[in-house]
């Protein structure tokens, strides 16, 4: 029986650079948690292939982007381990073992998987691949390969952790008490809406501000953000509650006084939308500049980025290998 010491396993899919939705939704929390728990950050390239199998270049290209984004926001490689999924073969092996412990209909009923399959109709058509349907199984393998006990997730991801817990319980009931049952901790950050007002900010939706965006890119994006459509003239009273610029001001404008003034002037019709957007651009740039500066440091040092990832992977692999011996022993596969 393992000694229970909390260990976080979390990660990102390398399908694009990280944006401010990730920043408020998970990265800020991750940076905080690395001081409290042993933290492992997975760059999930194999999982990214489940819905990008036809575009491996995209996945490969984004591995280093994800590592740099994590480092730029303050993930400290001396505190947290950043590692690459495809270099931990034990995860693939475990996925095969666990696939006996979950039924196809249970996976089809998983609400997270169901939603995602519906969103990917264009890729999968009427019939989803075995790999995509089974990604919660490989996620269970990611977590348990490292004896992860804590997984920070958004509410929409909770069914994936429940699925992992079920697999662990089933494994332990058949092969003896071997695996630790992880628990989810809900990140209290909310999901950030896109610049176009869409509930989700996403790479594929073209409505995101990336942590690595330049001043010009941020300016262009904010200038095209959706405002109160009822305001035709500059002195028309506005409704900041239906304006994406005001929504972003609440995230980026740190001074309460400044924020109150924005809302008041908007409602009174004494504030122009262009000036309001320019003020937001300034505040976003102020918040992102230290992140971008740190990112530039790593962009100029690709060898260092690679070294951090390889060292982290070596560390994670060692744990997975040791763990695998116990798992195989429990399964009578210890030849
Ligand atoms: Fe939005 Fe600002 Fe225009 Fe009001 S003044 S509608 S908050 S952009």
Residue 9 CB–ligand 1 contact under 6 Å: no
From the options 3.30.70.3290, 1.10.240.10, 1.10.15.40, 3.40.30.10, give the CATH code of 215-294: 1.10.240.10
Q: Where do you find CATH 1.10.240.10 in the chain?
A: 215-294
Residue 271 CB–ligand 1 contact under 6 Å: yes
Residue 7 CB–ligand 1 contact under 6 Å: no
Residue 231 CB–ligand 1 contact under 6 Å: yes
Residue range 61-106, pLDDT digits in tens: 999 999 999 999 999 999 999 999 999 999 999 999 999 999 999 9
Q: Where do you find CATH 3.40.50.620 in the chain?
A: 7-193+302-330
Atom of ligand 1 nearest to the CA of 272: 5
Residues of the chain with pLDDT under 50: 1-4
Residue 273 CB–ligand 1 contact under 6 Å: yes
pLDDT of residue 154: 83
Ligand 1, atom 3: nearest CA belongs to which residue? 273
Q: In CATH, which superfamily holds the domain spanning 7-193+302-330?
A: HUPs (3.40.50.620)
**For residue 236, how far is its CA from the centre of ligand 1 (angstroms)?**
10
Residue range 266-311, pLDDT digits in tens: 999 999 999 999 999 999 999 999 999 999 999 999 999 999 999 9
Ligand 1, atom 4: nearest CA belongs to which residue? 266
Q: What is the mean pLDDT of the chain?
A: 93
3-state secondary structure the chain: CCCCCCEEEEEECCCCCCEHHHHHHHHHHHHHHCCCCEEEEEECHHHHHCCCCCCHHHHHHHHHHHHHHHHHHCCCCCCEEEEEHHHCHHHHHHHHHHHHHCCHHHHHHCHHHHHHHHHCHHHHCCCCCHHHHCHHHHHHHHHHHCCCCEEEECHHHHHHHHHHHHHHHHHHHHHCCCCCCCEEEECCCCCCCCCCCCCCCCCCCCCCCECCCCHHHHHHHHHCCCCCCCCCCCCCCCCHHHCHHHHHHHHHCCCHHHHHHHHHHHHHCCCCHHHHHHHHHHHHHHHHHHHHHHHHHHHCCHHHHHHHHHHHHHHHHHHHHHHHHHHHHHCCCCC
| pTM of the complete model | 0.92
Residue 222 CB–ligand 1 contact under 6 Å: no
pLDDT of residue 2: 39
pLDDT of residue 188: 65
Atom of ligand 1 nearest to the CA of 265: 5
């Amino acid at each position: 029986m393992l000694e229970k010491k909390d260990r976080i396993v979390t990660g990102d899919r390398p399908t694009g650079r990280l944006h401010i939705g990730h920043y408020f939704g998970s990265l800020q929390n991750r940076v905080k948690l690395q001081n409290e728990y042993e933290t492992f950050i997975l760059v999930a390239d194999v999982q990214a292939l489940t819905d990008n199998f036809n575009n491996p270049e995209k996945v490969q290209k984004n591995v280093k982007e994800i590592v740099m984004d994590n480092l730029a926001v303050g993930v400290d490689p001396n505190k947290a381990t950043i590692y690459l999924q495809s270099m931990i073969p034990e995860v693939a092996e475990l996925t095969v073992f666990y696939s006996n412990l979950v039924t196809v209909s249970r996976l089809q009923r998983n609400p997270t998987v169901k939603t995602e399959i519906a969103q990917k109709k264009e890729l999968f058509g009427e019939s989803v691949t075995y790999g995509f349907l089974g990604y919660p199984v490989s996620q269970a393998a990611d977590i348990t390969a490292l004896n992860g006990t804590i997984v920070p997730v958004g509410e929409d991801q909770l069914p994936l952790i429940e699925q992992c817990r079920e697999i662990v319980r089933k494994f332990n009931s058949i092969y003896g008490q071997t695996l630790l049952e992880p628990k989810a901790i809900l990140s209290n950050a909310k999901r950030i809406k896109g610049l176009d007002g869409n509930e989700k900010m996403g790479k594929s939706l073209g409505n995101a501000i990336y942590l690595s965006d330049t001043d010009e890119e941020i300016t262009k994006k904010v200038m095209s953000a959706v405002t109160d459509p009822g305001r035709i003239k500059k002195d028309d009273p506005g409704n900041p509650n239906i304006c994406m610029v005001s929504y972003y001001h609440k995230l980026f404008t740190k001074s309460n006084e400044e924020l109150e003034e924005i809302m008041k002037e908007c409602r009174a019709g004494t504030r122009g939308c262009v000036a309001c957007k320019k003020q937001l651009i300034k505040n976003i740039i102020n918040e992102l500049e230290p992140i971008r500066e740190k990112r530039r440091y790593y962009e100029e040092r690709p060898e260092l980025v690679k070294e951090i990832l390889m060292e982290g992977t070596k560390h994670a692999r060692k744990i997975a290998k040791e763990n695998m011996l116990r798992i195989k022993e429990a399964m009578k596969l210890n030849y």
